[in-house]
Amino acid sequence: MTGEELLVELHRRGVKQKELADKLGLTHPMISYYVRGRLTITPDREKEIRQALEELSVEKRSVRPPEAREALSA
What CATH code is carried by the domain that includes residue 18? 1.10.260
At 58 the pLDDT is 86
d(CA 62, CA 38): 34
Q: Half-sphere exposure (CA, 13 Å, Cβ side) for 55?
A: 11
Which range marks the domain in which residue 33 is found? 3-73
pLDDT digits (tens, 9 = 90+) for 27-50: 999 999 999 999 999 999 999 999
User: Considering its fold, how many domains does the chain have in total?
Assistant: 1
Q: Which amino acid is at 74?
A: A
d(CA 21, CA 66): 27
At 37 the pLDDT is 96
d(CA 68, CA 30): 35
At 71 the pLDDT is 56
pLDDT digits (tens, 9 = 90+) for 4-25: 999 999 999 999 999 999 999 9
The answer to whether residues 53 and 13 touch, using CB atoms and an 8 Å cutoff, is yes
pTM: 0.80
Residue 73: is its pLDDT beyond 60? no
